[in-house]
């Protein structure tokens, strides 16, 4: 059996595996594992539980030096990077606080740049650490919704995340096999067809797919509940589990067999950051958007070179061309060797393929540059933007006097491998400053901000999926809402909620008595907080000013005379 490895990694000489110490001095439990499927990306590390509290001392996992710290409102929040002597770099996110000397340097930089968001980089001799040294304290900052440590291990030379779990297998118990919830069978466009052969509880057919409950007993018996003909693919929705937790995790190994022949497999062991968007091709993007459920698919698109995946010469497609039973088997396995197997039968039933009735006016070729231009509207997709060739049913949908026209590229939402450029003419005479206009993705009544630059009556933006787009205007300033201002004096903290209903927050500034003061911002609750004691503001009467700007540079200012 021929097997094609997508994006194969060159073989290297055998070297001794590095050794890493533990990040904490208490028993380790995970709330998230490496490579979990997330929106537009893979989870790049392990999430360690911190016993439900913040402030746990974080230990260096190997000798090296602190090379970088970052502070952001979302993402990793407070993050620490350690470049180790063994050729790897560890990244530690959502920290509560840094060591005092580093915290002092961070605060100095924040005041120098007058920005809460900062990055500091250090030389190899600035902050040397030894394995086991306390280097920071775990927390809940950034886009974190409970105390934990996000820890990555990256190869220093390539900056690629690898799975840290192999270094901690003897420290984390796992005797539970992965489990699947649903199995999907789908036909290749114009080349395959599937149907539900009989009515079974937990099974459904829609949009050229059949989805079956993976736990149903009929999966392991005959007759099959799925009929098919031509080229088909399959997908599976599954999670892994571990001892001592109620969390679910991503599955390390998935293997699909047909009649005992290996069709495709995945090994979630490492990735590069520029591979993140390939998740939208490996998984069923439309189904995830519709139901929120992830399906890992067997078929691999031509422009998906994700190294986690391997497949046979048909790139994971199976040809059903005999009227017989085809026996499929999914094997799910974790790093500890716990394995579960799911068998199902697809019955070959001769069916007439749906005749391809061209219902499009533009065909975009994935292997070359593609451009759509019509009456001032333009879509530009460089080679490699698409995963597969796409037929666009492009249409301009007129709107009423107060709204911009809608530009439909595709009824289905099609993910892109990298950003495409869209340019929309602004025919409507809105008498609005062009800097207030932006491109928006249309989803029913919802409008999603895509940014854009206005020039000569047209606005250009980058998009990462094909769908329907329009032009909107944002002339409304963000909101600033003081929270319990009467208690600011007693709590010695100023707290405000800021928000923008259309385009989002671009920037903010906080001043007391005309002087810039550090206000910390949390994206998860949209709150600005100033610790008056930490910032050296003495009790008494003060003038507080907060200025907030949205993505279209609409500005709002809150001015209050307060007893602090």
pLDDT of residue 362: 83
Q: What's the token pair of residue 16?
A: 């001794």
pLDDT of residue 12: 44
Residues 6 or more apart in contact with residue 234 via CB below 8 angstroms? 183, 184, 185, 186, 256, 297, 298, 318, 328, 330
How far, in Å, CA of 464 to CA of 445, rounded? Answer: 20
Tens-digit pLDDT profile for the chain (564 aa)? Answer: 444 444 443 444 445 678 899 999 999 999 999 999 999 999 999 999 999 999 999 999 999 999 999 999 999 999 999 999 999 999 999 999 999 999 999 999 999 999 999 999 999 999 999 999 999 999 999 999 999 999 999 999 999 999 999 999 999 999 999 999 999 999 998 899 999 987 777 788 888 899 998 875 455 555 568 999 999 999 999 999 999 999 999 999 999 999 999 999 999 999 999 999 999 999 999 999 999 999 999 999 989 999 999 999 999 999 999 999 999 999 999 999 999 999 999 999 999 887 766 666 788 899 999 999 998 999 999 999 999 999 888 999 987 655 789 999 988 889 999 999 999 998 766 678 889 999 999 988 899 999 999 998 899 999 999 999 999 999 999 999 999 999 999 999 999 999 999 999 999 999 999 999 999 999 889 999 999 999 999 999 999 999 999 999 999 999 999 999
Q: Which residue in the block uniquely carries the two structure tokens 């199995």?
A: 183
Q: For the segment 47-102, what is each residue's pLDDT rounded down to a tens digit?
A: 999 999 999 999 999 999 999 999 999 999 999 999 999 999 999 999 999 999 99
According to DSSP, the residues that pair with 199 across neighbouring strands are none
Q: Which residue in the block uniquely carries the two structure tokens 């690629």?
A: 160
Q: For the segment 473-525, what is each residue's pLDDT rounded down to a tens digit?
A: 999 999 999 999 999 999 999 999 999 999 999 999 999 999 999 999 998 89
Give the per-residue SS3 of 77-143: CEEEEEEECCCEEEEEEEEEEECHHHHHHHHHHHHHHCCCCEEEECCCCCCEECCCCEEEEEECCCC
Helical (H) or strand (E) element with 491: helix 488-491
Residue 275 has φ and ψ, to the nearest 5°, of: -95, -5
pLDDT of residue 197: 85
Residue 143 has φ and ψ, to the nearest 5°, of: -85, 70
Residue 10 has φ and ψ, to the nearest 5°, of: -60, 145
Residues 6 or more apart in contact with residue 147 via CB below 8 angstroms? 50, 52, 53, 54, 138, 139, 140
CA 428 to chain centre: 36
Closest of 462, 460, 454 to residue 553, by C-alpha: 454
Q: What's the token pair of residue 148?
A: 């934990």
The whole-model pTM stands at 0.91
How far, in Å, CA of 147 to CA of 138, rounded? Answer: 8
How far, in Å, CA of 85 to CA of 537, rounded? Answer: 43
pLDDT of residue 219: 55
Residues 6 or more apart in contact with residue 68 via CB below 8 angstroms? 80, 81, 119, 120, 121, 122
Q: What's the token pair of residue 153?
A: 């291990």
């Amino acid at each position: 059996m021929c097997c094609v490895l997508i994006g194969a990694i060159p073989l290297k000489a055998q070297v001794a595996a590095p050794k890493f110490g533990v990040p904490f001095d208490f028993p380790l439990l995970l709330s998230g594992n490496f490579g979990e499927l997330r929106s537009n990306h893979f989870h790049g590390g392990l999430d360690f539980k911190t016993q439900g509290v913040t402030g746990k001392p974080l230990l260096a996992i190997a000798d090296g030096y602190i090379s970088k710290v970052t502070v952001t409102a979302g993402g990793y929040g407070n993050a620490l990077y350690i470049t180790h002597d063994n050729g790897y770099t560890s990244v530690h996110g959502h920290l509560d606080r840094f060591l005092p000397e580093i915290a002092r340097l961070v605060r100095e930089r924040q005041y120098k740049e007058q920005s809460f968001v900062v990055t500091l980089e250090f030389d190899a001799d600035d902050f040397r650490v030894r394995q086991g040294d306390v280097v920071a304290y775990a927390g809940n900052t950034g886009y974190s919704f409970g105390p934990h440590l996000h820890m990555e291990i990256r190869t220093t030379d390539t900056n690629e995340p690898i799975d840290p779990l192999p270094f901690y297998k003897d420290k984390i118990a796992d005797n539970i096999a992965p489990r699947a919830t649903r199995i999907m069978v789908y036909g290749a466009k114009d080349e395959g067809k599937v149907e539900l052969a009989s009515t079974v509880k937990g099974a459904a057919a829609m949009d050229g797919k059949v989805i079956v409950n993976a736990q149903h007993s009929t999966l392991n018996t005959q007759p099959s509940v799925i009929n098919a003909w031509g080229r088909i693919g399959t997908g599976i929705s599954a999670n892994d589990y571990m001892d001592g937790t109620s969390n679910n995790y991503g599955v390390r190994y998935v293997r699909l067999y047909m009649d005992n022949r290996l069709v495709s497999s995945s090994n979630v062991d490492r990735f590069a950051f520029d591979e993140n968007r390939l998740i939208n091709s490996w998984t069923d993007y439309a189904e995830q958007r519709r139901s929120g459920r992830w399906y890992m698919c067997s078929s691999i698109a031509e422009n998906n070179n994700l190294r986690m995946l391997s497949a046979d010469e048909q790139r994971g497609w199976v040809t059903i061309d005999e009227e017989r039973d085809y026996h499929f088997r999914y094997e799910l396995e974790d790093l500890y060797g716990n394995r579960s197997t799911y068998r199902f039968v697809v019955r070959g039933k001769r069916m007439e393929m749906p005749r391809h009735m061209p219902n499009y006016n533009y065909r975009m070729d994935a292997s070359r540059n593609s451009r759509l231009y019509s009456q001032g509207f333009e879509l530009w997709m460089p080679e490699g933007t698409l995963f597969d060739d796409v037929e666009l049913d492009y249409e301009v949908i007129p709107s009423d006097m107060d709204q911009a026209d809608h530009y439909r590229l595709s009824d289905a939402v099609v993910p892109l491998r990298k950003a495409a450029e869209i340019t929309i003419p602004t025919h409507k005479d809105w008498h609005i400053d062009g800097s207030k206009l932006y491109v928006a993705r249309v989803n029913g009544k919802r409008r999603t901000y895509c940014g854009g630059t206005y020039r000569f009556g047209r606005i250009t933006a980058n998009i990462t999926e094909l769908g329907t787009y329009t032009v909107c205007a944002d002339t409304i300033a963000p909101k600033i809402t003081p929270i319990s201002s009467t208690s600011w004096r007693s709590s010695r903290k100023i707290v405000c909620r800021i928000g923008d209903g259309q385009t989002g927050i671009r920037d903010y500034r906080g001043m007391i008595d005309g002087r810039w003061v550090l206000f910390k911002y949390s994206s998860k609750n949209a709150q600005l907080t100033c610790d008056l004691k930490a910032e050296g503001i003495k009790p008494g009467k003060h003038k507080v000013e907060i200025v907030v700007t949205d993505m279209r540079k609409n500005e709002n200012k809150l001015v209050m005379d307060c007893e602090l």
